[in-house]
Amino acid sequence: MTAPWWRAHGLDVRIIDLTGPRARVARLLRGCDLVYVCGGNSFHLMRCLRDAGAVPLIRGLVSSGVPYVGESAGAVVAAPDIDYIAPMDVRHEPATTLRAPLMRETPTPGLALTRLHVVPHVGGRLLGAAADDILRMHAGESGYAPLRNDEALLIEDGRMRRLTTGSLAARLL
């Protein structure tokens, strides 16, 4: 859904089907100047990234200076572990078995691109209550970054800046 926006801003957008052949996923990722990972269910997204062999490729791209942009679940999976997002996202297997919940003991490593745990949708109408629950569960702990729908974190050279669009519509979603 965001591809037209990126294209309108002059970017050559490649949509990568993570369920496609691993060699194709790898070839398309290796040619990227920016990696954008969209939202959805964080557990499903991370499982698809692992199954596609994209995790080491994305880590390598980022370590070589390629920017990573994560929206919602895309921001969540940048954390070292994604278990913290369980109050917001149901822990399910990929689409073929969406009705089978993951066992609690199942490891939930993320991409580990940052030490932060982004908590998206703070104050939002749809997922704001779940975001509040996560923040209460981790109150007093460092490393949790609450974000409204109109905010983003920019991490560059070890420094972090919070950016905002000021969009009232985005804040209310």
Task: For each of the domains in the chain, give its residue range(s) and CATH number, in order of start.
Answer: 3-172 (3.40.50.880)
Q: How far apart are CA 81 and CA 168, in angstroms?
A: 31
Residue 13 is predicted with a pLDDT of 86
**92 flagged as catalytic:** no
Q: How far apart are CA 153 and CA 68, in angstroms?
A: 11
Longest dimension (CA), the chain: 44
Assign 61 to helix, strand or coil.
helix
**Residue 135's pLDDT band (boundaries 50, 70, 90)?**
very high
Q: Which of 42, 44, 72, 117 is catalytic?
A: 72
CA–CA distance from 139 to each of 78, 133, 165 (Å)? 21, 10, 26
Q: Where are the alpha helices (DSSP H) in 52-154?
A: 54-63, 73-76, 128-137
Q: Which of 42, 44, 117, 121 is catalytic?
A: 121
Residue 91 is predicted with a pLDDT of 82
Residue 5 is predicted with a pLDDT of 83
Predicted TM-score of the model (pTM): 0.86
**Residue 89's pLDDT band (boundaries 50, 70, 90)?**
very high
25-69 pLDDT tens trace: 999 999 888 999 999 999 999 999 999 999 999 999 999 999 999
Residue 97 is predicted with a pLDDT of 47
**44 flagged as catalytic:** no
Higher per-residue confidence, 131 vs 101: 131
Residue 87 is predicted with a pLDDT of 95
Assign 82 to helix, strand or coil.
coil
Mean pLDDT of the chain: 88
> Are the C-beta atoms of residues 76 and 82 closer than 8 Å to each other?
yes
> Are the C-beta atoms of residues 32 and 69 closer than 8 Å to each other?
no
Task: Give percent of the chain with pLDDT exceeding 70.
Answer: 87
Cβ within 8 Å of residue 21, ≥6 positions away: none
Residue 85 confidence (pLDDT) above 80 = yes
Residue 49 is predicted with a pLDDT of 95
